[in-house]
Amino acid sequence: MVRRKWKALGLLITLTAVFVLAACGTKENSDSGSSSPTTSASAATGGTPTIDAIKSKGKLVVGVKFDTRLFGLKDPASGNVEGFDIDIAKGLAKQLLGDETKIELREVTSKTRIPMLDNGEIDLIIATMTINEERRKQVDFSEVYFNAGQSLLVKKGSPIQSVADVKKGTKVMAVKGATSVKNIKEKAPDATVLEFDNYQDAFSALRAGQGDALTTDNAILYGMASQDSNYEVVGGTFTEEPYGIAAKKGNADLVNAVNEYLASLKSSGEYDKIYEKWIGETPLK
């Protein structure tokens, strides 16, 4: 008898839960149902739906790196995220919303950035992202905002001054699976490439004298050189890996606005200022 009572109670609770959840479901459905026609309508008339959405939200949500020196690095003391990418992002917020503080910086990694863009968690990716054909299928890119490329980091006074000096017996450090490994093997097929799990491990090994040079994007190498002044970036770049700002596919209005912003940044000289502030050199024209 008692057991049957409990069973009945359990059933009642389950049913209630189902009804409540179902009610929530319909509510959500009706919400999205009413809003979607307006979005498509404004898109059809050639308006600026994405920018309108950002304006009504009152802030621009940008996915940036929190762990990349010079481009997007969180200062553990102040909690502020700073870098080249951050300055570019703030300028864009000022252009779109009239105030550079109307911005929310979300941490992304190379793995999470495209999924986060796709599910609407972020409006844009400004996170040392190289433009390539593979990615063009998944996102819409702006014009190039930073000309990155693979380079070499060596100890000051090293006989290696460019990729041409990397010969048989030279130990070059890189990160496992990075395209930079393939590139250095093409440019210097006789070199020994030592691959590490991450840049910090590779740099530690270089500093311990376990190898002669470290290779990856110059952007990352400049960051390491700023950490330890005994090391320098040499020989310019031997690949072209242009960084772009990415928007969700189909958000043409936002990409256009970003491109206009980048053009104005360059013509006003503001771009050179940001570049020198972080990279320590003037950009090559």
Partner 1 sequence: MHFRKQGGSNDMLNFSILERYIDSYLAGFYNTIQSSVLALIGSFVLGTVIAVFRIAPVKPLNWFGTAYVEFIRNIPLLLVVFFFYLGLPSLGITLDGFVCGTIGLAVYTSSFIAEAIRAGIMSVPKGQTEAALASGLTYLKTMRHIILPQAIKIVIPPLGNQFINLIKNSSILTVFAGFDLMYYGDIINTDTFDTFSTYIFVAMFYLLLTIPLSFAVVRIERRLARND
Q: Which residues bind partner 1 (CB under 8 A)?
A: 134, 173, 176-178, 194-197, 201, 204-205, 208-210
Give min distance, CB of 208 to partner 1, in A: 4
Give the nearer residue to partner 1 in terms of CB position, either 43 or 194.
194
Kind plus residue range of the DSSP H or E element containing 71: none
Interaxial angle between packed helices 252-268 and 84-97, expressed in degrees from 0 to 180 and rounded to the nearest 10: 110
Antiparallel, parallel or unpaired: β 103-107 and 60-64: parallel
43 versus 205: smaller Cβ distance to partner 1: 205
CA–CA gap between residue 209 and residue 224 (Å, rounded): 15
Return all residues near 5 (Cβ < 8 A) that are at least 6 apart.
none
> Rounded to the nearest whole angstrom, what is the least distance from the CB of residue 171 to partner 1 in the complex?
8
When the beta carbons of 148 and 181 are compared against partner 1, the nearer one is 181
Residue with smaller CB distance to partner 1, 50 or 130: 130
Structure tokens at 285: 């024209």
Indicate the residue among 178 and 279 with the shorter CB distance to partner 1: 178
Q: Which of 172, 208, 167 is nearest to 188 (CA)?
A: 167
Q: Identify the CA nearest to 173 among candidates 193, 155, 151.
A: 193
**What is the rounded radius of gyration, in angstroms, for the C-alpha atoms of the chain?**
25
Please say which residue, 203 or 222, places its beta carbon nearer to partner 1.
203
Nearest distance, CB of residue 203 and partner 1, angstroms: 11
Minimum distance, C-beta of residue 274 to partner 1, in the bound complex (Å): 32
Q: Report angle CA 111, 117, 119 to the nearest 5 degrees.
A: 105
Minimal distance in Å, beta carbon 111 to partner 1?
Answer: 11
CA distance linking residue 139 with residue 233, whole number of Å: 31
Kindly report the number of other CB atoms within 10 A of residue 239's CB atom.
Answer: 20
**What is the three-class DSSP state of 229?**
coil
Helices vs strands, H then E, count in the chain: 10, 13
Q: How far is the CB of 234 from partner 1 (least distance, A)?
A: 22
Nearest distance in Å: CB 225, partner 1: 20
